[in-house]
Structures are given as structure tokens and as C-alpha cells.
Amino acid sequence: MKAFAGPAMLLVLVGGYLVHRAMSKEDAPSRDFMELEFAAEDEDHSGTCYSLSTVLIANGVFGNALRTWKTPDQRNQDQWTLLLEAVQQGRNGPVREYRNFTFEKFGEQVRLVDVEASEGYPTDIEENIDKLLEAPHARKSTPVDRCRQDGGTGYQFPRKK
């Protein structure tokens, strides 16, 4: 009987882990949300010609920062907050740096509606949008369909000839 105690305990642990993995799911926006066109902060909320996923991927989703998606209201899947956290070595020891980007769906676009950040990072929405768009422009990332056509335009998007 004692010979089976070790394998039985291992089976229980592995089974519990597999049940936990199967039943728990990391919060993240749907693919449909991520593929919406990222909007600018101008008066017309012009499209930027890039999907939210393209913008985040082009930015390397901000390097080695811990990334956590959450929605303020589980019933409302049209608003998501991306928390980026990192610990940096400061003069007096470790310093937590963070940025919260809140995105919200408006029609066929997703807008950056709020930015919270630790000291040293900008919180102005327009400034953050401009910064987020630098990487897809520099990498010549794939634009959304409407901007691939001749005459396709978007906020800071180089016009296609």
C-alpha cells in the first residue's frame, strides 16, 4: 500500500494542476477588439491606419515589462486596460515603474482614453498616441485594409501614391 502513496500523490498534484490550467484563463481582449483600427486624438478621431495589435506588436509590447490586461467591468468587453510594470534599479534600491493604457471601442475604432503612469512617463493621451505610432511607422508595419488602397490616409500615416 505504501508503494502506491508516492505515485498517487504525484497523480493528484498533476491532475490538480491540469484542472487549474483548463479552468483558469488569462484575461485579454478578444481578437476582434485587438484588430480594430487605433484612433488618433484629433478632433475627428482619425484612424491611424494601424490596428491596435499592430501598434502594440511594433512597440515590442514595451520590452521586458510585465504585461497584464484587465477590464474594469466584466460585462463590458469594450474597454480594456493594459498595465505595464517593470522594476528598475534606482539610486536607493529598486523602483517600480508602471503605465496603464486604457483602450475603449468606439464603432470600428479603438481609442486610447486614459493613461496613468509613474513619474517620468507622459500621461497626455495625444503625446502617448504619437509615441505609440513611431514604431509602426519606422517598421513600415502592415496597415489596415482601407489604407492599403491608393489615396489611403490616416493620422500621421504616409500617404500611399
Mind listing the pLDDT tens digit for each residue in 8-63? Answer: 676 777 666 666 555 555 688 999 999 999 999 888 888 999 999 999 999 886 56
SS3 call for 26: coil
- Assigned domain for 108 exists: yes
Is residue 89 over pLDDT 90? no
pLDDT of 37 reads 95
- Assigned domain for 79 exists: yes
- Assigned domain for 161 exists: no
C-alpha cell, 50: 494601424
Q: How many residues does the chain have?
A: 161
Give the pLDDT band (50/70/90) at residue 106: very high
112: exposed, middle or buried (Cβ count in 10 Å: 0-12, 13-18, 19+): buried
pLDDT of 16 reads 67
Q: Residue 14: how many CA atoms within 13 Å on its side-chain side?
A: 6
- In terms of residue numbers, what domain contains 58? 27-148
CA distance 112 to 79: 10
- Assigned domain for 87 exists: yes
- Assigned domain for 14 exists: no
CA-CA-CA-CA torsion for 97, 51, 77, 125, nearest 10 degrees? 50
Quick one: which of 95, 106, 101, 63 has its CA closest to 82?
101
- Assigned domain for 74 exists: yes
pLDDT of 75 reads 82
pLDDT of 21 reads 59
pLDDT of 59 reads 86
- Assigned domain for 18 exists: no
Number of domains in the chain: 1
- Assigned domain for 86 exists: yes
Give the pLDDT band (50/70/90) at residue 128: very high
CA distance 46 to 65: 29
pLDDT, tens only, 143-157: 998 888 887 778 877
